[in-house]
Structure 1
């Protein structure tokens, strides 16, 4: 009887937990209950309507961010436009599941902000009518965005689906940063301690790391030094550019382009050679033993231990990982001379994105919504949506340009930005920097590093942001999920435990049986069509 009671109690708890997750702080269901009223839309100027209208948006948010209703940007927009947004925010890591539940149930918001819709989502739900085409609304009610699309035909191409419709608004940031997501840093304090220069070759780098881990570099009498750490399969800080030194760059998709041919990097002999080589570093204790398993929070914590423990790391920037107090101990390490020379991979990340905002079929005020969202594409507003608002991140100089204020003491921009900037729909073009907005200091610094050290050695080709047909996307999903899971598991295993030489032929055979040739044919066709 007690066991039965416990089982029933457990079922009740699980049911309540599921109900709480499904409902969350959801306002989406309010779209079914509200009264839709006639509105007088002002076609130009502000406010957009004379009497307040409420729209219901669902959006993900960073764990560092407050609810969007608390953000200055949306409070100010509400005052200016008379459009109130009732926000349904979900944490980034749970958002995709929630989004899919809403789409499956039909319990829809008016729009998904920072939508996270994949290309397959856009095509599937666009054809079903769940999300609505936006091209006519853009042309008739969004002059700011229309101007930006005229200035950048490539951006319009990016957001236009194969059926000719535009199902999502764009996000664009032309800074020249994302094509090189990795910068390598080394502990200059430790180099100086042992009378070593900044390494210029892979072997010199190996020897420096070996000295760090074997000679008690931090002087605390413990074997706690980490030679090299990185973010395995991370969007940044991954091992791709160290693999590139063997002749074939690697990236998270393992998809590269060489002389117009689309290749799977993790099936190339140079990849095998690189992984076998770096496994030797693991055996010597030069690579973080948790490098293939730790998450970003754990990685960042290693840079902020009481005693300095990291000898070298790969990441987007230094301050975010090691903190403001320790950043001066590290210097940039330019690309090393490896077996194939100095090679820096070019990522497939695009500065143009097509998932910033989608409008659903239940939205009773599409024209109003379009006018509201067009405010985000005014150049000054785009900058604030991306980096943060006037008064918190920016102030205006005598020419009206947005210039950066001093950050709160000891707070990196990487931590401050998500608290004040929602991201989402915006367009910041290259020519806006220095005229509309001053480039963020850490972006200036990073761009200078890339221009001086990395860009001269970067490969020329990468895979573009191809918009495939729905049938092709379905097939890519069917093949790629299993292939990527298999490859990434084997890569981590071989790096940390070895065995790539013995298992390589069987691995290649397995990839062929899993459909890798067909997958690469689809990507090659997409590439060729895009380049026509």
Structure 2
């Protein structure tokens, strides 16, 4: 551990020395403070942690680098970002703010955001190393005009960072009924059937639900089922964007594929038998669901972590990472690209010295910076146990609102996501919070998708076309899903009409555009 701290200290001295050299040309005014000051806009999360200017982590980082940050923090960012862009003078950079890929392309081409691809190799060497190790980072950040207008939020752990979707099944009920966790869709149906008919919570009431989440979260179930039926060939983001890559390396629209009919037939069977809550599409909000979970009525749900179901019930569930189809095959890990956010740090047109900005942020793409950003400092925010593991100090672990928000009182890279940063592994995070890391009956790392794609970049023309087509397709598919799953539409007699309507909306053009994007991505 002492060795790692020496490495951290050395890395900090190198970064600080680089800033000292770079400061000479940073501001035109010649004022010493200006040369060592940068201006950043970031979201305002002061309802749950201190302002950035008062946060322990940023105070420490100023001491390490000699660079002062003038923070402007904004609430309701999505509603205000267009107004901010219209200002005469912009900050040096946007930090942890959400810009869509389409916005990066648009504002980059308008000259509001500076291209960074030529500066990254020299002035962001830690990020550059990550890009060389994982080419999908550079490919996913590069816009159709060949530029990189932003730095990423990234994780090199497929299990971590909110990347990994899985089922969570009630382990108390499994034990009570002498059942094993299901490994395929047939076993899942059988387990849910016993959950809703054999009173596993022991209260003498038929109040047990099989798959149950707050209304509007049916997509979590469907994501796992689509993977079981072979749609997870390009990872979670691809499925969430409604496409997969077939065996001939051709992009296909999921919701017009014959296998989707099988997915909806399976979901219809679950719904018809009462194994999916009848409130799946309407009637239950999040608070009601969490309250029901605390009463031990939830058999199964799907999410990236168990804490979504609330503190009273989260320890009652075990994860299922791999669910195979009815033939016992095709199951694969539902995980995102390592490029979890493509706009974590955006340098604006008004930044006089983008090199210093890149040097300042690049530290957090190193192992030392990753550790500092999440754990902080040994003896202050974390200690090391007898296994050599980092665990937050008691004042964080015992924080009334939980250890994550406890850590957020000192550190920035632990909550809300989308920071410019290499995230630590999920195992390290859980140990830091004083929890046991998740274990799986089937090792998900041995069942990875063929590839894991980030969100594909679009040209301005493609974006304009997709905007209308995608909205109409998504709305129609959402309506069709409810009708097919609940049985209002018949999957045999109504399937052809459904397919015809997709074509009328423009699915063929949608596929043509997406295939062009995928082709560009492969050529990058």
If the length of structure 1 is used for normalisation, what is the TM-score?
0.76
Aligned 8 A contact 1:243 1:275 in 2: no
Q: Which residue of 2 aligns with 1:526?
A: 517
Is 1:263 the counterpart of 2:252? The answer is yes
**Residues 222 and 445 of structure 1: CA distance in aligned 2, closer, same or farther (over 3 Å):** same
Out of 343, 347, 352, the position equivalent to 2:330 is 343
Q: Quick one: distance in 1 between partners of 2:391 and 2:436?
A: 14
Alignment match of 1:408 (pick from 397, 401, 410) = 397
- The superposition leaves residues 391-433 of structure 1 with CA deviations (integer Å, 9 ceiling, x where unpaired) of 565447999x98333661487666556553335454539xx97
Moved more, 416-425 or 516-525: 416-425
Per-residue deviation at 1:217? 2.7
The answer (yes or no) to whether the contact 2:192–2:211 under 8 Å persists in 1 is: yes
Structure 1 residue 95 displacement after superposition: 2.1
> Bigger CA drift: 158-167 or 173-182?
173-182
The aligned residue for residue 202 of structure 2 is 219
Unaligned runs of 5+ in 2: 1-17
Counterpart pick for 1:185 among 168, 174, 179: 168
1:351 positional shift: 0.4
Distance 2:321 2:152 in 1: 34
Question: Is the Cα contact below 8 Å between 1:464 and 1:527 reproduced in 2?
Answer: no
Contact 1:132 1:360 in 2 (8 A): yes
* RMSD of aligned residue pairs (Cα, Å): 4.0
Change (3 A) 1:340 1:309: same
- Distance across 2 between alignment mates of 1:226 and 1:308: 9
Q: Deviations over 1:351-378 (max 9, x none)?
A: 0243111122233454443332233334
Aligned ranges 1:456-475 → 2 under 5 Å = 456-475=446-465
Which SS does the other structure have where 1:182 is aligned? strand
Match of 2:472 among 464, 482, 497: 482
Give the superposition deviation at 1:256. 0.8
Listed as ranges, the matches of 1:57-456 within 5 Å are 57-60=40-43, 64-91=48-75, 94-104=76-86, 108-139=90-121, 141-177=123-159, 181-230=164-213, 237-249=220-232, 251-259=239-247, 260-293=249-282, 297-298=286-287, 301-302=290-291, 304-305=293-294, 307-323=295-311, 326-333=313-320, 335-336=322-323, 338-345=325-332, 347=334, 349-352=336-339, 353-385=341-373, 387-390=374-377, 394-395=382-383, 403-405=390-392, 408-409=397-398, 416=406, 420-422=411-413, 423-428=417-422, 440-441=430-431, 449=440, 452-456=442-446
Offset at residue 347 of structure 1 (A): 4.9
Distance 1:112 1:383 in 2: 23
- C-alpha distance in structure 2 between counterparts of 1:473 and 1:339, whole Å: 38
Unpaired stretches in structure 1, ≥5 consecutive residues: 1-39
Most deviating of 412-421 and 191-200: 412-421
Cα distance in 2 for partners of 1:403, 1:236 equals 35
Note the C-alpha offset of 1:219: 2.8
Between Structure 1 and Structure 2, how many residues are aligned? 481
The answer on whether the counterparts of 2:215 and 2:279 sit within 8 Å (CA) in structure 1 is no
Mean Cα displacement is larger for which, 468-477 or 116-125? Answer: 468-477
Relative to structure 1, the CA distance from residue 221 to residue 363 in structure 2 (aligned partners, 3 Å threshold; closer, same or farther) is same
Match of 2:20 among 39, 42, 59: 42
Q: Contact between 1:384 and 1:421, CA under 8 Å: does it hold in 2? A: no
Helix, strand or coil for the counterpart of 2:42? strand
Partner SS for 2:514: helix
TM-score (norm 2): 0.77
What's the CA shift for 1:117? 1.5
* C-alpha distance in 2 between matches for 1:295 and 1:418: 31
Match of 1:449, SS?
coil
Change (3 A) 1:514 1:363: same
Residue 499 (structure 1) shift: 1.5
Relative contact order: is structure 1 or structure 2 higher (C-alpha 8 Å, sep ≥ 6)? 2
